[in-house]
Amino acid sequence: MLRQVELIEKVKSYDPFVEEELLNKAYVYSMKAHGSQKRASGAPYFSHPLEVAGILADYKFDSKTIITALLHDVVEDTSKDLKDIKINFGNEISHLVDGVTKLSKFEGRSAKFNQAENFRKLLLATSKDIRVLLVKLADRLHNMRTISHIKNKKKKQKISYETLEIYAPLAERLGMQEVRSELDDLSFAVIEPEIRDSILQRLQLLRQQDENVLQQTIKKIEELLDKKKINAKIFGREKKPYSIWKKMKVKSVNFSQLSDIMGFTILLNEIDDCYEVLGLLHQKYSYVPGRFKDYISTPKPNGYQSLHTTLIGPINRRIEIQIRTLKMNDQADLGVAAHWIYKEKVEKNDGKQYKGIQQILEILDQSKEPEEFLEHTKLQMYTDQVFVFTPNGDLISLPRGAMPLDFAFSVHTDIGSNCIGVKVNNSIKPLYTKLKNGDQVEILTGNENVISPKWLELSITGKARACIKRYLHLKEDEELKKLGKEIIVNQFKNQKIRFSDETIKTILVNFNLKDSDDLFLKIGNGDLVSSKIILSLYPEKSLTKSNDKIILLNEVKQKRQEKKSILLQGLTPGMSIHYANCCNPIPGDSVIAYISEGKGLMIHVDTCEEVRKIKINKSKVIDVRWENFRHKKKDFVAKINVIITNKIGSLGSLSSIIGRSMSNIRNLKITDRNNDFFKIDLEIDVKDLDHFNKVLVSLRTSEFVENVSRL
């Protein structure tokens, strides 16, 4: 644990103008406030804020950030309040501490709701001062470094998933790749320990095999640059286990099929040197087409700059090379922290500097519910990115798999709302086109808002989906208001009672409603029954049974709740369906429903060969998609073919991996066997496509598995 004098000296080493008296005061204040509190490890609780302060001091952040780190848990976990913080440390630090302090739990609300509200508060505070997020990231980093002391497995998993899905991507948004990489790997070690250990073993084997390759490659490149008298630092780098696992999932390949596990970085003094070295390498070695990226001329949104290329290198091996200046390298590893290290002026709430944070705030602005905002944000941050261009050459980053509507809403909400078509690379394309790196995208617009429910299937980004849902909610609300007004007016008319503005005012007071829109909406959606309104105004009235039919509007709500439980949207509740054995669709697959004579409604994967063979009558096809399937406990059958090495223990290993992945083998058939390999067809239980892909990746990390494919 850092001593008081050590922390002060550490900060003074890079900040001669440190507020030493205030820093000393914060140290003592926090230590006394936390008193005898203990961490899960048994260490004094004060060791945690002290370590968080130490992490931030390593990045050379200003003294107010360090003070906030020392105080960040005081309000949440001790008897001290923000008023006391303000009196002792001033407004600025009080606001920073408030930003990192969690909200009190909302009684009667779900854990997910509370998580979403806390995330919302953090983001709003971050938009005003980026240091709030810096303290929160350092806090999470230390908690993950010490997570092994938590005994509750479910709690560890929950914290790790939250770290992987929210905090690690936030670190990347600030360009802090060092922090992101460590958070990723620490989370991965908790969530998938067996897979991570397997990858580490394979990496160790690869290091032993390729040790000479690494040194020979560096030596050859050094010789090439020395001839041109170019001063450079060259080093080999190895992908982290989590990064390797993600690549295996995305590319659906085995460990041995990955070509860029080992890479090389060349660091130079000037930008001109970067392009000169790139030219020399491309002259000397064959470069792999489609693998060159220039992030110097077009930096990533988080400020990352570098040249990336892939070559058939000095010893005829495919190698990935990154070329950048020393300063760019600091930016790549440290992100926003590099500005403090280089003592550059940093505007705390500069939206342009922290564009990634502003994009999330735009999602927040459009989202109706906290949980919806959280889900949209996870998707926006967690997925890999593609980089596309506007007709003016502006760079837009989007999640991989994004479509034109995602691009349109990213540029501006009005452009998205009025989109009637798209040009990709000067050619008219359908709205379901998946955008690729380097595409130039032009959105064609009309004069009117043309949003439809179908657009939810043509978009994946948080902002686009939040905007579309917001519009659809507003449109639905307008229709319900019209319905509600019609119902109440007719009910009064049937009772031969005058319905006037004065009547509305009385109803608003009686039922504590804001305005007439609120009244009509509540009647329209079934929250308020018109007969109840009349009885509140005229208790002597005896409503006839026929007039009480209005109560049936409550069924509207019930039907909506039923709809939420349907696994496939587009079908009537209770409809008899069958999942086709030819393709075994699972939740997450793109599917169609086909009315088959003598069999009923069959659900197929839309790429199923059997579907292509059938001359489908379009009138028999129903447009369906999965909905709310992640909340279901139902198992689905997936068929796979696995090729494993013919060694002792290989079949047992296969079974163990599937079991550890929370799956079950329903059926197993060995289709071929020779001295080297088994070919096995398996039927396994899975929850959805994500679960299925997790099983595949787990299998691909095994040294016994040569290939896995879906049948």
User: Residue 707 has which token pair?
Assistant: 């290939």
User: Could you tell me the two tokens for 193?
Assistant: 């320990």
Which DSSP letter does residue 165 get? I
Instruction: Report how far apart, in Å, the C-alpha atoms of 427 and of each of 327, 383, 432, 440, 447 are.
Output: 40, 27, 14, 10, 22
All residues at 6 or more sequence positions from 558 whose CB lies less than 8 Å from its CB, including other chains:
none
Residue from 9, 76, 347, 515 carrying the catalytic annotation: 76
Residues 538 and 533: their CA atoms lie apart, in Å, by 9
Cα four-point dihedral sign 40, 43, 45, 50: negative
| Separation between Cα atoms, residue 28 and residue 30, nearest integer Å | 6
> Can you name the residues that pair with 294 across neighbouring β-strands?
307
Three-state SS string across 169-205, please? Answer: HHHHHCCCHHHHHHHHHHHHHHHCHHHHHHHHHHHHH
286: left (phi > 0), else alpha (psi -120 to 50), else beta? beta
Structure letter (DSSP) for residue 285: S
Tell me whether residue 606 is one of the annotated catalytic residues: no
Tell me, yes or no, if 77 is annotated catalytic: yes
Catalytic residue among 19, 77, 330, 703: 77
Distance in angstroms (rounded) separating the CA atoms of residues 158 and 153:
9
- Residue 97: Cβ-neighbour burial (10 angstroms; 0-12, 13-18, 19+): buried
H-state helical runs in 285-395: 326-334, 337-341, 355-366, 370-382
Tell me how far apart the terminal alpha carbons of the chain are, to the nearest angstrom: 56
Query: Among 129, 51, 142, which Cα is nearest to 93's?
Result: 129
Catalytic site positions = 76-77
